[in-house]
């Protein structure tokens, strides 16, 4: 009989080994066998998910083969996470912990087994891993470091038993791994005296190099005009621009069995972040940005630090079971992956807020941040004594965070209001919940503009008053008042005064700069408003909504190239956001009067499926109008459902209005009239609910103009301008003025339309409807085409070559 054929291949080999199994077998053989079997079942369920092939077991160890280093590493991380969750509430003597080692190299398959250096090295590497840890060779680290969000710590130079060449090895840092566990090291053979002298000499030389380098850098700082300074002048290290006392608190890992506790873990992390943000001596990144790094896998902290512009990060985990809680937190220098501080807190659940304060103060102490008495008092004040109310509050904050990615995401805002109402019902003294509740009502009233009713504004005011009664002098109270004065009353001067007071107590809150930017923008101070929005992004660098607002500021200034660049910054955060991709294409169309890039973008979004195109269907309809393509316009209206066919906050044109435009495009005058009549019925109800709101009345005038009711349309348009004059609100007022120009054009009043058009172009902020592309391509302006004055205006807006 011939021998089994050999197969040689490149493979990733993973060795796993149960920690303490031999000792447990001697103490309690029955328990050891029970845990061994449970361990095998758990791991065997995980291997196939990452295409791992179990080669064999060796006592309490597994030998597993993978086709790639990436799959092996992902499998190892998943094993350790599953075991960490399993061990969270298990007595120490019943915990299952494993060490894992991974190497990639040549192996030989023979007789159902695997041989070769790849196997031998993996088995040696496994012995160097922590309990609950993963150790990999340099070959593995090189292949996965840019393919997986993970962080590595390089181990000290190590000689592996029976391996002739020293190897660089790395530990995968896991957020749930026990801190401070020493890595086992293989004892190297004794060295001769001559062998010892060489490393000593090398160390001495290295020390000399370091000292000389330090002196050279010191001289460079003292004598910037000298040769050392000139040599370094062309390039300044990015790390030098990052403040030393800067920090991001990343989302904590939820190790609890119940999925619902994920909101609780978010709440714990957010309270620590909020406490640290009250310290003026620190730069603290906002929750909106850090929550985008929520992941069960280990993170690449160096990359995160660079993206957020911080020197330090905090990682941690939360385990909640019955009336007990365990919180683990680690402070890490993101520039070199060094662990600066770590602590595990095992307490009663009722102590959770005390734990959060202790962690914040410990981190501030590690960073040598100055803490004023008022800051210390603010950190120590618990948000509530009702944990159920805290759960509701945490869920609401997460929903409001999601809603911030879309202006018209009212569903999440309304659900957040329900949760916050329940929270304050449970705890009427829950100050932070009232502040969030006020903002949630204001966002429905003003940000989306779809519920701009006196009733909604009254609810916002009631929440602000409740917060004021509880803590009249708190920074959050002044911020809540400022937001109400701005969003609700458009009282800019009073809002700015409140923001200035709030700034003293909330040094790291990006909302102060964000709202300031919006106010200045509405007062016509576009450039200064833009600077404030950019300052907000420094504290909240991955805030998708603020970056979109920066893009709108550039668009209002007719600086389209910079507007598109701002949208590119937003898309770098959420690349698949169809709405923003479509907006980018519409900006280009309005800038260049070229629909091809937008058309290509729409085609790409259509290929993603109906869910993607639903969020960009209004821009698709906009493109179809510009291209005079009724078939595409009809498909876009179907995709829109009942949503507006076009919207430039605060102006929203209904779906039925879009049907009227489509019918008129196809010369179906009867169909157009039916659609416009239906649109008018809808809009009149909105105006009745919001009688003193200019934008809704402006849209009613536009509909009446489409129906040929000239006098009524012009009356409504003029009243809309009086309700929202550009002198009081440059952004909203300019939009109302511009759409009144369209109303006049549709009503056949050419002279008035041209006057309003010229006034709109002189305004400090311009809408897309007054861009070169819109004037040249959209049917709204067809009544003015051919008039020399209109054609001259269109040409004046053409991009300069």
pLDDT tens-place string over residues 442-463: 999 987 667 888 999 999 999 9
Q: 400 and 367, same structural domain?
A: no
**What pLDDT score was predicted for residue 752?**
97
On the 0-12 / 13-18 / 19+ scale of CB atoms within 10 A, 341 is middle
pLDDT band at residue 180 under the 50/70/90 scheme: very low
Of the candidates 251, 280, 287, the one whose C-alpha atom is nearest the C-alpha of residue 367 is 280
Q: Where are the beta strands (DSSP E) in 487-628?
A: none
Same domain flag for 315 and 434: no
Measured CA to CA in angstroms, residue 502 lies from 327, 786, 789 at distances of 31, 55, 50
Q: Under a CB-based contact definition with an 8 Å cutoff, are residues 93 and 161 in contact?
A: no
Whole-number Å distance between alpha carbons of 297 and 173? 10
The pLDDT tens digits of the residues spanning 12-46 come to 999 999 998 878 887 888 898 899 999 999 999 99
Per residue in 572-610, pLDDT tens? 988 888 999 999 999 999 999 999 999 999 999 999 888
Q: In the numeric block, which tokens belong to residue 694?
A: 């200019």
pLDDT at position 237 is 39
pLDDT of 215 reads 37
- Residue range 645-666, pLDDT digits in tens: 988 888 999 999 999 999 999 9
Q: Judge whether 350 lies within some domain.
A: yes
Burial of 148: CB neighbours in 10 Å, binned 0-12, 13-18, 19+: middle
Whole-number pLDDT of residue 182: 38
Q: Say if residues 526 and 553 touch (Cβ distance below 8 Å).
A: yes
- What is the arithmetic mean of pLDDT over 360-371? 94
Residues 359 and 418 in one domain: no
User: What phi-psi label fits residue 592: left (phi over 0), alpha (psi between -120 and 50 degrees) or beta?
Assistant: alpha
- Whether the CB-CB separation of 249 and 290 falls below 8 Å is answered with yes
Give me the phi and psi of 154, to 5 degrees please.
-75, 135
Q: Are residues 148 and 11 in the same domain?
A: yes
More confident residue, 372 or 198: 372
Average pLDDT of the chain? 86
212 confidence band (pLDDT: 50, 70, 90):
very low
Per-residue pLDDT, averaged over 766-787, amounts to 94
| Cα 318 to Cα 438: distance, rounded to the nearest angstrom | 30
Q: Tell me what the mean pLDDT of segment 517-531 comes to.
A: 94
**Region 747-756 average pLDDT:** 96
| Structural domain ending residue among the three candidates 346, 380, 414 | 380
**Same structural domain, 349 and 411:** no
Q: What is the 3-state composition of the chain as percent helix, strand, coil, each rounded to the nearest 5?
A: 60, 10, 25
pLDDT of 231: 29
- Identify which of 51-65, 120-134, 491-505 has the greatest average pLDDT: 491-505
Whether the CB-CB separation of 751 and 718 falls below 8 Å is answered with: no
pLDDT at 409: 66
Output the pTM of the full model.
Answer: 0.70
Q: Are residues 759 and 798 in the same domain?
A: yes
- Is the pLDDT assigned to residue 190 strictly greater than 50? no
What is the CATH classification number for the domain harbouring 732?
Answer: 1.25.40.10
pLDDT(339) > 80? yes
Residues 113 and 610: their CA atoms lie apart, in Å, by: 50
Q: Which of 173, 199, 222 is the last residue of a domain?
A: 173
Residue 726 makes CB contacts below 8 A (sequence gap 6+) with 733, 734, 736, 737, 763
Q: What is the pLDDT of residue 446?
A: 86
Contact 778, 625 (CB under 8 A): yes
Q: Are 334 and 313 in contact (CB under 8 A)?
A: yes
Which phi and psi angles does 236 have, rounded to 5°? -105, 135
Place of tokens 């009073």: 494
User: Whose CA is closest to 615, among 575, 662, 564, 577?
Assistant: 577
Query: CATH number, domain at 306?
Result: 3.40.50.10610
Domain's final residue, options 173, 196, 212: 173
Residue 768 in domain: yes
Q: Are residues 68 and 110 in the same domain?
A: yes
Q: How many CA atoms lie within 13 A of 469 on its CB side?
A: 10
The residue that leads in pLDDT, 684 or 10, is 684
37 CB-contact burial (10 Å; exposed 0-12 / middle 13-18 / buried 19+): exposed
Which pLDDT belongs to residue 185? 36
Torsion 204-206-210-216 (CA) sign? positive
Is residue 413 within 8 A of residue 443, CB to CB? The reply is yes
Q: HSE of 687 in the Cβ direction (CA atoms, 13 Å)?
A: 21
Question: Are 19 and 167 found together in one domain?
Answer: yes
Report the candidate in 6, 128, 150 with the shortest Cα–Cα distance to residue 69: 150
Same domain, 347 and 399: no
| Domain-located, residue 216 | no
The DSSP bridge partners found for residue 332 are: 313, 339
Is residue 591 included in any domain, yes or no?
Answer: no
Give CA–CA dist 546/286, Å, rounded. 12
* % of the chain beyond a pLDDT of 90: 61
Q: Tell how many helices (H) and how many strands (E) occur in the chain.
A: 35, 16
pLDDT band at 114 (very low <50, low <70, confident <90, very high): confident
CA-to-CA dists, residue 5 to 1, 56, 67, 108, 120, angstroms? 12, 19, 20, 10, 21
pLDDT, residue 184, reads: 38
Residue 517 lies in a domain: no
Asked if pLDDT for residue 399 goes beyond 60, the answer is: yes
- Output the CA torsion 708→711→713→718 (10° steps): 160
pLDDT at 239: 46
pLDDT of 323 higher than 60 = yes
Q: Which strand (E) or helix (H) includes residue 730?
A: helix 730-746
Q: pLDDT > 70: what percent of the chain? A: 88
- Quick check: 178 pLDDT over 80? no
536 belongs to a structural domain: no
Same domain, 155 and 257: no
3-state secondary structure of 641: coil
CATH code (residue 124): 3.30.70.1230
Strands 651-653 and 283-284, how do they pair?
unpaired
More confidently predicted of 203 and 516: 516
Q: What is the mean pLDDT of residues 335-344?
A: 88
Q: Which helix (H) or strand (E) holds 199?
A: helix 193-222
The secondary structure element, H or E, covering residue 318 is strand 312-321
Whether 405 is covered by a domain: the verdict is: yes
Q: Report pLDDT for 616.
A: 92
pLDDT at 611 over 70: yes
Q: Domain span at residue 332? A: 241-380
* Whole-number pLDDT of residue 32: 87
Is the pLDDT assigned to residue 223 strictly greater than 80? no
Residue 98, strand partner residues: 18
Taking CA 387 as the corner, what is the angle to CA 315 and CA 312, rounded to the nearest 5 degrees? 15
Q: Flag whether pLDDT at 162 surpasses 80.
A: no
Residue 62: inside a domain, yes or no? yes
pLDDT for 119: 85
Question: Are residue 721 and residue 782 in the same domain, yes or no?
Answer: yes
Which pLDDT score is estimated for 407?
Answer: 60
Are residue 166 and residue 48 in the same domain, yes or no? yes
Name the domain count of the chain: 4
pLDDT value at position 708?
96
Euclidean distance between CA atoms 694 and 700, whole angstroms:
10
Nearest to 665 by CA among 786, 790, 782: 782
| DSSP structure class, residue 765 | S
| Per-residue confidence (pLDDT) for residue 386, from 0 to 100 | 94
Q: Largest Cα–Cα distance of the chain, in whole Å?
A: 105
Q: Determine the Cα–Cα distance for residues 627 and 623; give it in Å rounded to an integer.
A: 6
Query: What pLDDT score was predicted for residue 197?
Result: 38
Q: Rounded to whole angstroms, how far apart are CA atoms 409 and 646?
A: 15
pLDDT class for 83, splitting at 50, 70, 90?
A: very high
Q: What is the pLDDT of residue 517?
A: 97
């Amino acid at each position: 009989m011939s021998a089994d054929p050999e197969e040689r291949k490149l493979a990733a080999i993973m060795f796993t080994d149960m920690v303490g199994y031999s000792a447990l077998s001697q103490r309690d053989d029955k328990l050891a066998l029970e845990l061994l079997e449970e361990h095998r079942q758990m791991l065997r369920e995980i291997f196939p998910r990452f295409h791992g092939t179990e080669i064999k077991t060796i006592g309490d160890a597994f030998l597993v083969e993978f086709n790639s280093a990436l799959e092996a590493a992902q499998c190892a991380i998943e094993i350790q996470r599953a075991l960490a969750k399993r061990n969270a509430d298990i007595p120490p003597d019943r915990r299952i912990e494993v060490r894992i080692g991974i190497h990639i190299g040549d192996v030989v398959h023979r007789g159902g087994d695997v041989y070769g250096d790849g196997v031998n090295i993996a088995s040696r590497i496994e012995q160097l891993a922590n309990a609950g840890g993963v150790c990999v060779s340099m070959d593995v680290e090189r292949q996965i470091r840019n393919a997986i969000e993970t962080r590595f710590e390089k181990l000290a130079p190590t000689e592996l038993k029976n391996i002739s060449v020293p190897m660089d090895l790395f530990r995968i840092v896991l957020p749930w791994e026990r801190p401070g566990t020493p890595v086992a090291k293989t004892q190297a053979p004794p060295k001769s005296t001559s062998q010892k002298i060489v490393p000593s000499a090398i160390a001495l030389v290295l020390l000399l190099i370091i000292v000389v380098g330090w002196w050279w850098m010191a001289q460079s700082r003292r004598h910037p005009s000298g040769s050392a300074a000139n040599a370094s002048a062309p390039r300044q290290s990015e790390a030098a621009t990052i403040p030393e006392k800067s920090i991001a608190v990343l989302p904590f890992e939820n190790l609890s069995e119940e999925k619902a506790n994920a909101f609780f873990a978010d709440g714990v992390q957010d309270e620590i972040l909020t406490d640290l943000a009250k310290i003026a001596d620190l730069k603290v990144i906002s929750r909106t940005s850090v929550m985008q790094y929520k992941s069960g896998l280990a993170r690449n902290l160096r990359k995160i630090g660079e993206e957020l512009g911080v020197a330090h990060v905090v990682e941690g985990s939360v385990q909640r079971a019955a009336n007990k809680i365990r919180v683990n937190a680690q402070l890490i220098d993101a520039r070199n992956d060094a662990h600066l501080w770590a602590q595990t807190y095992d307490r009663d659940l009722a102590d959770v807020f005390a734990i959060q304060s202790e962690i914040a103060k410990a981190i501030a102490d590690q960073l040598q941040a100055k803490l004023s008495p008022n800051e210390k008092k603010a950190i120590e004040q618990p948000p509530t004594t009702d944990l159920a109310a805290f759960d509701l509050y945490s869920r609401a904050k997460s929903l409001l965070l999601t809603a911030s990615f879309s202006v018209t995401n009212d569903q999440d805002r309304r659900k957040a209001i329900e949760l916050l109402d329940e929270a304050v019902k449970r705890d009427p003294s829950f100050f932070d919940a009232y502040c969030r509740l006020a903002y949630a009502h204001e966002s429905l009233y003003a940000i989306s503009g779809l519920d701009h009713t006196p009733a909604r504004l009254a609810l916002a005011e009631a929440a602000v008053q409740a917060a004021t009664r509880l803590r009249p002098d708190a920074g959050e109270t002044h911020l809540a008042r400022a937001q109400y004065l701005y969003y609700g009353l458009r009282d800019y001067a009073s809002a700015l005064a409140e923001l200035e007071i709030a700034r003293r107590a909330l040094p790291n809150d990006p909302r102060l700069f964000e709202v300031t930017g919006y106010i200045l923008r509405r007062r016509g101070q576009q450039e200064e408003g833009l600077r404030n929005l950019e300052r907000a992004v420094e504290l909240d660098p991955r805030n998708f909504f603020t970056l979109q607002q920066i893009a709108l500021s550039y668009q209002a200034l007719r600086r389209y190239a910079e507007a598109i660049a701002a949208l590119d910054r937003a898309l770098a955060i959420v690349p698949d956001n169809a709405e923003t991709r479509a907006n980018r294409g519409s900006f280009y169309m309005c800038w260049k009067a070229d629909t091809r890039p937008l058309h290509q973008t729409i085609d790409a979004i259509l290929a993603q499926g109906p869910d993607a195109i639903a969020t960009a269907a209004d821009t698709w309809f906009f493109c179809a109008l510009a291209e005079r393509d009724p078939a595409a316009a009809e498909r876009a209206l179907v995709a829109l459902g009942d949503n507006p066919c076009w919207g430039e906050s605060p102006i929203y044109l209904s779906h039925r209005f879009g049907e009227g435009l489509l019918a008129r495009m196809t010369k179906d005058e009867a169909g157009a009239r039916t659609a416009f009549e239906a649109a008018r019925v809808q809009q009149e109800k909105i105006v009745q609910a919001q009688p003193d709101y200019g934008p809704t009345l402006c849209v009613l005038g536009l509909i009446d103009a489409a129906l040929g009711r000239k006098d009524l349309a012009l009356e409504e348009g003029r009243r809309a301008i009086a309700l929202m004059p550009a002198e009081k609100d440059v952004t909203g007022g300019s939009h109302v003025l511009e759409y009144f120009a369209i109303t006049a054009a549709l009503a056949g009043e050419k002279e008035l339309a041209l006057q309003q058009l010229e006034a709109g172009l002189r305004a400090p902020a311009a809408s897309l409807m007054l861009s070169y592309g819109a004037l040249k391509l959209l049917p709204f302006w067809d009544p003015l085409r051919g008039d020399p004055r209109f054609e001259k205006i269109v040409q004046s807006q053409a991009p300069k070559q």
